Amino acid sequence: MSDAAVNEPHNLYAEGAAYVDGDYVPVGEARIPLTDLGFVRSDVTYDVVHVWNGKFFRLDDHLDRFETSCEKMRFSFEHTRDDLAAMLHQLVALTGFTDSYVNISASRGSFAPGSRDPLLCRNKIYAFAVPFVWITRQDEQEEGVDAIISSTQRIPMASMDQTVKNYHWADLTSSIIEANERGARLPILLDENGNVTEGPGFNVFAYCNGKLYTPDTGVLHGMTRRTVLELAGKQNVETLVEPVPLATLKNADEVFLSSTAGGVMPIRSLDGETFGDGAPGPFTTRMRQLYWEAHDDPEYAEPVRYAAV
Ligand SMILES: Cc1ncc(COP(=O)(O)O)c(C=O)c1O
């Protein structure tokens, strides 16, 4: 190695930082036991919060959702709410990222020797911060993306409570493959009654005759979905959180997706049928603008404690 290389400052956390079992490590070095039921049984819940321009977006609300998911999974931890928040601040501070995708996961842990009782496992917290992740590219956010209705049904609520953020992604992953094979970019999945649910990493909205519709059940209560509903309400737009038949989506004036990993994302066409003239509609464009502006609103934004490291 040259002297120059030795003397170069080397950021251990340039690709991200992780928290595993009380230690902070470079993300590429983070390891979990193979026997962790989070890995072998998908017995895990998680949340993703993002940092934008050096500020967490709705950190408290994300931690509320995470704690509710953990209660539903019957996970428990010694970590307090303040510990969890401090951990996420620390991870981002280690990386120095100003725009970051921050994942916190709670897993069942491993079975105690000789036991098959999930409630006897010592539950684990893992977390990592990596550069911000986008579901769609910048040009796609400006022009809209082509979507399909997947032939795979979303895992029903009777089998999996979709309000608990989870990694049961078989239906979502096969739908992504189907969308690609059908020449589209993203899939939207229906429920057992033929109503709209969500897609891989996002909620779905239909804007029709001045009203905004999004499904009430069978979906994660996305933080971006909640933000969009709040922002639309402030614009005096009527919001309806109720079953959304496929026909409502197909006949909508505008359709868009919402996700922490990309914000508000316009849909250009569904199953080959273009919405309007194919350009993102004025309501979607306004929501996208308001969503990103909200990142400077102290009601939602909390500066990362970079100085703490
Ligand atoms: C299945 C599913 N639905 C919806 C969302 C959007 O939720 P949020 O806006 O909180 O990112 C996600 C996010 O990953 C998701 O995985």
The full DSSP string for 32-92 is --TT-HHHHS--EEEEEEEEETTEEESHHHHHHHHHHHHHHHT---S--HHHHHHHHHHHH
Nearest CA to ligand 1 atom 12: 201
Whether 63 contacts 48, CB under 8 Å: no
The answer on 163 and 55 residing in a single domain is: no
Check pocket membership of 224 for ligand 1, CB cut-off 6 A: yes
Distance 201 CA to ligand 1 centre (A): 4
Domain endpoint, select from 109, 132, 155? 132
Whether 302 maps to a domain, the answer reads no
The answer on 165 and 120 residing in a single domain is: no
The answer on 83 and 176 residing in a single domain is: no
> Pocket of ligand 1, candidates 44, 52, 61, 165: which has the most ligand atoms within 8 Å of its Cβ, to mutate?
165
Whether 142 maps to a domain, the answer reads yes
The answer on 225 and 193 residing in a single domain is: yes
Distance 38 CA to ligand 1 centre (A): 19
| pLDDT tens track for 207-223 | 999 999 999 999 999 99
Domain endpoint, select from 86, 115, 132? 132
Nearest CA to ligand 1 atom 16: 201
Check pocket membership of 187 for ligand 1, CB cut-off 6 A: no
Say what angle helices 81-95 and 59-73 make with each other, to 10 degrees. Answer: 120
Q: Which domain holds residue 166?
A: 138-296
The answer on 160 and 288 residing in a single domain is: yes
Check pocket membership of 223 for ligand 1, CB cut-off 6 A: yes
Measuring CA to CA, which residue among 75, 162, 167 is closest to residue 118?
75
The answer on 177 and 57 residing in a single domain is: no
Distance 37 CA to ligand 1 centre (A): 22
How many domains would you assign to the chain? 2
The answer on 212 and 122 residing in a single domain is: no
Whether 306 maps to a domain, the answer reads no
Nearest CA to ligand 1 atom 1: 201
Position 96 scores a pLDDT of 97
Check pocket membership of 202 for ligand 1, CB cut-off 6 A: yes
CATH code of residue 89 = 3.30.470.10
Q: For the beta carbon of residue 88, count every other beta carbon within 10 angstroms.
A: 27
The answer on 291 and 171 residing in a single domain is: yes
Domain endpoint, select from 85, 113, 132? 132
The answer on 125 and 36 residing in a single domain is: yes
Nearest CA to ligand 1 atom 2: 201
Distance 69 CA to ligand 1 centre (A): 14
> Pocket of ligand 1, candidates 58, 220, 257, 260: which has the most ligand atoms within 8 Å of its Cβ, to mutate?
220
Check pocket membership of 254 for ligand 1, CB cut-off 6 A: no
The answer on 226 and 250 residing in a single domain is: yes
CATH code of residue 273 = 3.20.10.10
pTM of structure: 0.95
Whether 305 maps to a domain, the answer reads no
Ligand 1, residue 226: give the atom nearest the CA: 9
Whether 304 maps to a domain, the answer reads no
* Residue showing tokens 């809209």: 144
Return the sign of the alpha-carbon dihedral for residues 25, 27, 31, 32.
positive
Which phi and psi (to 5°) does residue 253 adopt?
-75, -40
Taking only the tens of pLDDT, the chain with its 309 residues reads 344 344 444 599 999 999 998 999 999 999 999 999 999 999 999 999 999 999 999 999 999 999 999 999 999 999 999 999 999 999 999 999 999 999 999 999 999 999 999 999 999 999 999 999 999 999 999 999 999 999 999 999 999 999 999 999 999 999 999 999 999 999 999 999 999 999 999 999 999 999 999 999 999 999 999 999 999 999 999 999 999 999 999 999 999 999 999 999 999 999 999 999 999 999 999 999 999 999 999 999 999 999 877
Taking 3-state DSSP, the helix, strand and coil percentages for the chain, each rounded to the nearest 5, stand at 30, 25, 40
Whether 308 maps to a domain, the answer reads no
Which phi and psi (to 5°) does residue 178 adopt?
-60, -45
The answer on 108 and 162 residing in a single domain is: no
Whether 56 maps to a domain, the answer reads yes
Distance of CA 258 to the CA centre of its chain: 9
Nearest CA to ligand 1 atom 15: 201
The answer on 268 and 227 residing in a single domain is: yes
Whether 309 maps to a domain, the answer reads no
